Structure 1
Amino acid sequence: MDMIQEITDMKLGIIYSPESTGFRLWAPGAEAVSLMLYEDEGKYDSSGMVQDHHGGIEVTMNMQDQGVWSAAVSGDLSGKFYMYKIYRENGRFNYAVDPYAAAVSANGCRGAIVNPVLCCPEGWENDQRPPFVQPTDAVLYELHVRDFSISPDSGMRYKGKFKAFTECGLRDEFGNSLGIDHLVELGITHVHLLPIFDFKTVNELTSSPVWDAEGEYNWGYDPQHYNVPEGSYATDPRKPEVRITECKEMIQALHQKGIRVIMDVVYNHTYTVEDGPFEQVVPGYFYRRDSSGRLSNGSGVGNELASEKPMVRKYIKDSLRYWAEEYHIDGFRFDLMALIDVETITEIVQELRCEVDPGLLIYGEPWTGGDSPLQNKTFKGTQRGKGFAVFNDHFRHAIKGDNDGGGKGFATGETWYEGAVAEGMLGSIHDFALEASETVNYVTVHDNLNLWDKVMISMGKWHEAGFIHMENGRPADGAYIVEKVTAADPYRTIQVQDALASEAVKRCLLANGIVLLSQGIPLIHAGDEFLRSKFGDHNSYRSGDAVNAIPWSLKQRFKEVHAYYCGLISLRRNHPAFRMNSREQIERHMEIIRCSDQVVAYRLSDCANGDPWKQIVVIVNGNLQASKVELPPTPYSWNIVVNERLAGNEIISTTDHADVTVPGLSLMVLYEDHDRLKQNLVKVQVEYERTDHQYSGWNLWVWGTGVKDGRIDFTHMEKGRAQAVIYAAADVEKIGCIVRLNDWEAREWEQDRYIIVPDHRQTVQVKVSSGKESALSDVITGKAS
């Protein structure tokens, strides 16, 4: 069966029309296949499953080429359910749900036949993807559907449901926007939704529509039916059309607010093999095996899909295309992308971008969960030049340290990470990426400790915050989770009236500030903007609402933090210099100007990427104490738009100094104001005398002026001496100076010299004579006037 060729030009699954419905199933090893039609969803047992599939109308299917079985049934079948009855040798048979099913009954027990026209919200035909130019224009926001709205303080009616995203105009008692309006206010461009396809481990018939501290919960990385929305997110999972319509309503609502939608996809494994979507149809084909014939376990959950096989590759591509076309999904994040071969990923990118939408974002995790026999894994580096991006764990580690422990990085207090942070801020183009559009920069996501908890643990505050040791979604000591959460106080270290004064808050803002001010594609985790905590739970995939629900009351409590995030995102979105895409652009316009002593600073020059600001400086200070940083020389003032308390596009203050003091654990962003020359510049007049009176080619090389460094030419002669003028910022104490011939053909003095600038003087006169070593001093004393 491994020699099977991909059936590229055939649509599998069902083809519905009111007049008749066609059915196609690829089952090459079957002796015979029948279509089973049912009037209802079947009888559910106490576990929420339908075990008995007898009693349907059996329709014989015909064998076509390459293992495809087909049947056509006249009449309108909308509202009916179906299964396939697959016969094996010796009269054995089993029932299977169509792997290509686009609609299912509750808990995915049977496939459902629906009229697509009845599964679209009003105006769906006019739904438009928001404009999007290039990957680095994105600001991603990773979010779980249930977490978004399930909290009692969310203000949303449709708690835990797709429809919660359709609720507009919601505000808390203090006037703060909630729900989808909060996302608009924050300024993100894409919502990255954790899996919304039908997954296995939540019983859709009993899933609570209200906050449930210890109820069934899952992130959704346990696939059951890849082409159907999850029923627990629908208001009525027993009606197949409802989950489809409401999922589209969510996407439509986000599009209307200018936000694109990324779908988290899990094509690397299924929840189980035996009762998964494939094994009952084509035994032994869809899963990867090791050299001994055993199921490989690179996913860490017991199986891997064999993406390199033609019909597995076709299934993945068909599924993605279906979501992109039918649901208007705007991009895909691949779970454990390394378990999908590079050829498959490359074909996905090329086909979706060319045939669906050139703005689709494709990215994923470039690692596995264990060993795999797959040869051409999609690791970091394989994405170079192929149009997709990968998560940047190098940068993540440099910023925060390890994922679940007290290990530290630049923002959490460790030294010697300046170089790795600088590399990440450059878009990792000298690490694994060819272009900045190939790196997704982030600090934390749903996996592992979230940002607030990681910072607190790195500071040794586990017990002070009352964090909870969790095992299998419950407190390890057997206590009731609500009691534990109620007793916890993750924010005990924060001053009530001044959150931004907290060391932990500063470290959080520093960490995600670095992400948002770096080249590449930034991603932040839902709730980071108001210090969401998961009470120390580093793997909350089934920990329930008490741990996972987004507590919207934190928005009022930490308004200054939220405003800071809004400001940084607005700055990034309004200034293309922070969103360069190509290596050539970055190498031409971006320069690291400081990378030492827990300080990283860079300059964006020459209106980078068409930015209206000609020169921008970004400084990140990882020290507890303030640090002085020298600014690039310019005759213009510097406007500060980001400091330790405020962020955005508006001018906070202006400085004419040659350097700036950056408070500890903070960011600073400045831009050169071409409408304002520096005030109180010091004019240094230099006279140069040569005994041979040969001045052709001689010039000054200066540094430390704060205005203009580099070559300064002698502009005129007077009384046999060449004269030049150097301008310095008012706070400059000394200027480096060398007299040289052309480009270093010769120079006066073997040692560098410095012009000492007296305090509070606007004009300084200096006389230099050829061949004189100024009494072998390393300074030239200026005469003030």
Structure 2
Amino acid sequence: MTVMMMNRDMIQEITDQRFGLIYSAASSTFRLWAPSAAQVSLMLYKNDGVEGGESLLSQSGGSEHPMLIKGNGVWETNVSGDWAGWYYMYRIRQQDGQLHEAVDPYARAVSANGRRGAIVDPAQCSPDGWESDTRPPLASPTDAVLYELHVRDFSISPDSGMTYKGKFKAFTETGLRDEAGNKLGIDHLVELGVTHVHLLPIFDFKTVDELISSNWDPEGEYNWGYDPQHYNVPEGSYATDPRRPETRIVECKEMIQALHQHGIRVIMDVVYNHTYSVEEGPFEPVAPGYFYRQNHDGTLSNGSGVGNELATERPMVRKFIKDSLRYWAEEYHLDGFRFDLMALIDTETMVQIVEELRREVAPDLLIYGEPWTGGGSPLANQTVKGTQRGKGFAVFNDDFRHAIKGDNDGGGKGFATGEAWYEGAVAEGLMGSIHDFALEASETVNYVTVHDNLNLWDKVLVTMGKWDEAGFIPLQDGRPHDGSPLMPKIAAATPYADVVEGEALASEAVKRSLLANSMVLLSQGIPLIHAGDELLRTKYGDHNSYRSGDAINAISWSHKERFTEVFRYYQGLIRLRRQHPAFRLNRREEIEKHMEIIRCSDRVVAYRLHSHAGNDEWKQIVAVFNGGVEAVSVELPPTLYGWNVVVNEREAGTEVLSTADGAEVTVQGLSCMVLYEDPERLKSDLTEVHVKYDREDGDYAGWNLWVWGTGVQDGEVSLTPREDGDAGAVFYTAADVKKIGCILRLNEWEAREWEQDRFITVPEGEKTIRIHIHSDGVDIRPHNLGGRAS
């Protein structure tokens, strides 16, 4: 019987059950869903299926324990005694006579290379203090600053200073410094200020041999991990001893525990859209034809681009995914999940995942993913951009990404890389895409580059036409296209030819890369940066380094000293974001009320956050992004007070770098500037404008002055009737203002004095001017000054 033949009650009965191994020291229960099987046996083994350093190709030597069919395709057996330290498999004979040996799809521990399931005592699979491990607080999703990182990349470089290179345990090493005293490893992450480490897949994946030495290997064993083998087991190549099943579990938890202790949450990249293959995957031997989506002609659909896709809309596939996610969140204390090719997961499944995890595990779990596929799929209700609206999860914002940098792998340009006409798309992204695809800012993950495609530094150089100058290498699967050795080409590469040591911020390429991520970090939404961006990480032009080896992928920690100004700039931007809630608004109403785009033209985008947005201590904030190579003057919102600059082309943070008192400010080319209004400091050299207004009828009720271009406080200025029969008003202009727009109006435009706008010329150097306006609508005259002020 298959699920397709079952009614709803039968489906509910099996989806409510717990599958896999249920261990106790007295006995262990094994439960498997194999709906088309004629016979199933549990095979128990004393050894791990590894001999002489190689996985065995047969499953001989085990003891066989028949399993009983419990109904609806569920098979079960219970074996008495303590079996911890043993290994197990399922022997399945299908109704057509085919015989398969299969690892439990629900296995939570395995032997090296996942050859066999392992029976472990859960009490022996946690580090000291694990029960008291707690998630660092997260009040709002937009409080997150995500840092996408590969476990091996983090520590494998010879200059990392870490003992456990390429391992989970590298994250537990503290107090590391380079020769110049720069912090390395986990201390670097804390110093940078990120809130979340988003780890590329850490579940057991197929294409790295766990029994091969894991030392520095420039061209050897490597993979990002998007080839799932055992979904509920940590990857063995990241463990110090992959042959001992408990080790990878304990050390994975130690990593998470260490990050939590340093105030950093952990996101796991999950790949529930496809498996490494069908035949060698975890599902086909158990339930042939069920777990994989098919086209209308019965062939396997390939929306993943790797030959298969999981049929997430089917009840037992959906159950498996939800069970797996809950297990990781509860057992490993993970703080959220990033879904690879999330469009291949039906929206109903995603909604159930979010609702159940938030309700039953933790309400502040962060969930987001890629709202696209890797190819065509017959799935009707794909989880694409827009389907997340109001459903509690976020999607990657490729619209904003493209607007900032251009295309992914070529020379196509965006706002930060030299193209005009992207101002509107950038402005939309800065506002959290709430007028595009998002209902709230917490539904967009803003980024420029991640592990896929050209990384940020390489992309900038390519758009500048510097492929040859940088010595970039045409690569395929980590090997030069021409078949020559890789390492001499890397040694000859010069990706930092234009970066002068100690003057990194003077480099055009550095300016463009900082401009790109400054928009990410100062936009509404959830920002994500790729590990190493703050160190000008290069992959030598490799746009798909998923199996390219350590020489291409490892983070070079020596860059921290070499490009320390760049690191400090990133650190300052993150500190600014984290200390000021105005940059972390969430609700659409908040953003529309407190944020406005004040310039969006000529390669410049600027916004204002006002009225203590998000209850920020700063009443008014302006951020300006100049994508042009020349300096520009940008008009500032009117205010009586001076402006403090906290971000410019050289530094970023929360400390005051300079002040600005004028009506406008100069922003250097290819840079960002952030200013805030300082209520403690009135603008210097203000000009006081006194207005006298005469009406023949003496009726001043409802009349007011409307002014603009003051550089101080534009808008309505009240008129006060006086004893001598006229009315008066006082307003101020900034020192550098030369001309002010002026209209006399009744209430809100019921009537006005003149058909055309009038202007008051401000004489240079005057601290006080007096304007006399007559109701005949003809004259605007200075009262104690020579000349016409119109």
TM range (shorter): over 0.9
Name the structure 2 match of 1:575: 580
Name the structure 2 match of 1:614: 619
Contact in 2 for aligned 1:26/1:69 (Cα 8 Å): yes
RMSD: 1.5
Pick from 87, 95, 112 the counterpart of residue 106 of structure 1: 112
Name the structure 2 match of 1:266: 271
Alignment pair present for 1:244 and 2:249: yes
Contact in 1 for aligned 2:700/2:721 (Cα 8 Å): no
Alignment pair present for 1:455 and 2:455: no
Unaligned stretches of 5+ residues in structure 2: none
Name the structure 1 match of 2:133: 127
Contact in 1 for aligned 2:50/2:112 (Cα 8 Å): no
Q: 1:685 to 1:114 in 2, by over 3 A?
A: same
Shift of 1:190: 0.4
Pick from 733, 754, 769 the counterpart of residue 764 of structure 1: 769
Alignment pair present for 1:604 and 2:609: yes
Amino acid in structure 1 at the alignment position of 2:49:
G
Name the structure 1 match of 2:364: 359
Alignment pair present for 1:711 and 2:716: yes
Residue deviations 1:338-394, cap 9 Å, x none?
Answer: 000000000000000011011100000000000100010000000000000000000
Residue deviations 1:689-718, cap 9 Å, x none?
Answer: 223333222211000111111111122426
Alignment pair present for 1:36 and 2:43: yes
Pick from 134, 145, 164 the counterpart of residue 151 of structure 2: 145
Pick from 66, 69, 84 the counterpart of residue 72 of structure 2: 66
Q: 1:682 to 1:97 in 2, by over 3 A?
A: same
Distance in 1 between residues matched to 2:674 and 2:93, nearest whole Å = 69
Distance in 2 between residues matched to 1:495 and 1:479, nearest whole Å = 31
Name the structure 1 match of 2:753: 748
Pick from 683, 690, 710 the counterpart of residue 685 of structure 1: 690
Amino acid in structure 2 at the alignment position of 1:95:
E
Name the structure 2 match of 1:94: 100
Contact in 1 for aligned 2:771/2:781 (Cα 8 Å): no
Name the structure 2 match of 1:656: 661
**1:543-562 superposed matches below 5 A:** 543-562=548-567
Count of paired positions: 780
Shift of 1:674: 1.1
Contact in 2 for aligned 1:643/1:668 (Cα 8 Å): yes
Name the structure 1 match of 2:81: 75
Amino acid in structure 2 at the alignment position of 1:636:
Y
Distance in 2 between residues matched to 1:455 and 1:49, nearest whole Å = 45
Contact in 1 for aligned 2:501/2:563 (Cα 8 Å): no
Distance in 2 between residues matched to 1:380 and 1:144, nearest whole Å = 26
Distance in 2 between residues matched to 1:551 and 1:598, nearest whole Å = 34
Residue deviations 1:279-326, cap 9 Å, x none?
Answer: 011101000000000000000000000000000000000000000000
Residue deviations 1:151-197, cap 9 Å, x none?
Answer: 00000000000000000000000000000000000000000000000
Shift of 1:774: 3.8
Shift of 1:676: 1.4
Contact in 1 for aligned 2:342/2:371 (Cα 8 Å): yes
Shift of 1:89: 3.5
Name the structure 2 match of 1:9: 16
Shift of 1:719: 4.0
Distance in 2 between residues matched to 1:701 and 1:733, nearest whole Å = 17
Distance in 2 between residues matched to 1:490 and 1:616, nearest whole Å = 36
Distance in 1 between residues matched to 2:77 and 2:413, nearest whole Å = 61
Contact in 1 for aligned 2:49/2:55 (Cα 8 Å): no
Q: 1:781 to 1:622 in 2, by over 3 A?
A: farther
Contact in 2 for aligned 1:756/1:781 (Cα 8 Å): no
Name the structure 2 match of 1:436: 441
Distance in 1 between residues matched to 2:226 and 2:461, nearest whole Å = 28
**What secondary structure is seen at the aligned counterpart in 1 of 2:197?**
strand
Name the structure 1 match of 2:739: 734
Distance in 1 between residues matched to 2:404 and 2:598, nearest whole Å = 19
Name the structure 1 match of 2:26: 19
Pick from 185, 196, 214 the counterpart of residue 191 of structure 2: 185
Residue deviations 1:384-441, cap 9 Å, x none?
Answer: 0000000000000000000000000000010010000000000000000000000000
Contact in 2 for aligned 1:681/1:727 (Cα 8 Å): yes
Name the structure 2 match of 1:253: 258
Distance in 1 between residues matched to 2:547 and 2:140, nearest whole Å = 36
Pick from 478, 486, 489 the counterpart of residue 481 of structure 1: 486
Name the structure 2 match of 1:513: 518
Shift of 1:726: 1.7
Contact in 2 for aligned 1:755/1:782 (Cα 8 Å): no
Distance in 2 between residues matched to 1:102 and 1:535, nearest whole Å = 38
Q: Which of 677-686 and 170-179 deviates more?
A: 677-686
Distance in 2 between residues matched to 1:759 and 1:65, nearest whole Å = 93
**What secondary structure is seen at the aligned counterpart in 2 of 1:154?**
coil
Contact in 1 for aligned 2:423/2:601 (Cα 8 Å): yes
Contact in 2 for aligned 1:755/1:781 (Cα 8 Å): no
**What secondary structure is seen at the aligned counterpart in 1 of 2:674?**
strand
Distance in 2 between residues matched to 1:167 and 1:306, nearest whole Å = 41
Distance in 1 between residues matched to 2:309 and 2:780, nearest whole Å = 78
**What secondary structure is seen at the aligned counterpart in 2 of 1:316?**
helix
Distance in 2 between residues matched to 1:179 and 1:129, nearest whole Å = 20
Shift of 1:8: 2.6
Shift of 1:478: 1.2
Shift of 1:724: 1.4
Residue deviations 1:639-666, cap 9 Å, x none?
Answer: 1111111111111111111111111111
Shift of 1:760: 1.4
Pick from 398, 423, 428 the counterpart of residue 428 of structure 2: 423
Shift of 1:43: 4.1
**1:188-203 superposed matches below 5 A:** 188-203=194-209
**1:221-236 superposed matches below 5 A:** 221-236=226-241
Name the structure 2 match of 1:340: 345
Contact in 2 for aligned 1:43/1:52 (Cα 8 Å): no
Pick from 701, 717, 722 the counterpart of residue 696 of structure 1: 701
Amino acid in structure 2 at the alignment position of 1:18:
A
Name the structure 2 match of 1:672: 677
Shift of 1:759: 1.2
Distance in 1 between residues matched to 2:571 and 2:777, nearest whole Å = 59
Unaligned stretches of 5+ residues in structure 1: none
Distance in 2 between residues matched to 1:197 and 1:465, nearest whole Å = 36
| TM-score (norm: length of structure 2) | 0.97
| TM superposition outliers: structure 1 runs of 4+ over 6 Å | 780-784
Shift of 1:199: 0.3
The percentage of counterpart residues that share the same residue type is 71
Amino acid in structure 1 at the alignment position of 2:395:
V
Distance in 1 between residues matched to 2:309 and 2:173, nearest whole Å = 39
Contact in 2 for aligned 1:169/1:177 (Cα 8 Å): yes
